[in-house]
Amino acid sequence: TICVIINLIFLYCRVSALAVPFPSQWEASIAVRSLSPDREPRKGGITRTLSVTENILSVKWTADEARVLRVAIASFLDHLALVMETMDAFGQSVPQ
């Protein structure tokens, strides 16, 4: 089972950052490449940056409104959970 610790930091200026440790850099890289291609649905008002350092996936959001930020983060967490479940269920086939 993938062990996940999520650190969520909300700042007053509507910036949010998330750090997700993965068991390995390989898994973190797979996750970021799966999560990166789709843009935020809203045309403007929010930006998102994804990056990987070793086994840590980092996300940073900047939004004009707290409401937009909250929706984006909730959606991202759903997507992240799905990617993790997929790796957990189908990842054993190909060893790192």
31 binds another protein (CB under 8 A): yes
Extract the tokens encoding 64: 């004009």
State which of residues 10, 24, 36, 64 lies at the interface with another protein (CB under 8 A): 36
∠ CA(62), CA(20), CA(83), 5° rounding? 95
| Degrees to nearest 5, angle at CA 4 with 95 and 20 | 90
Q: Does 41 bind another protein (CB under 8 A)?
A: yes
Least gap, CB of 72 to another protein (angstroms):
12
3-state secondary structure of 1: coil
Site for another protein, rule CB under 8 A: 30-31, 33-39, 41, 75, 78-79, 82-83, 85-87, 89-91, 93-94
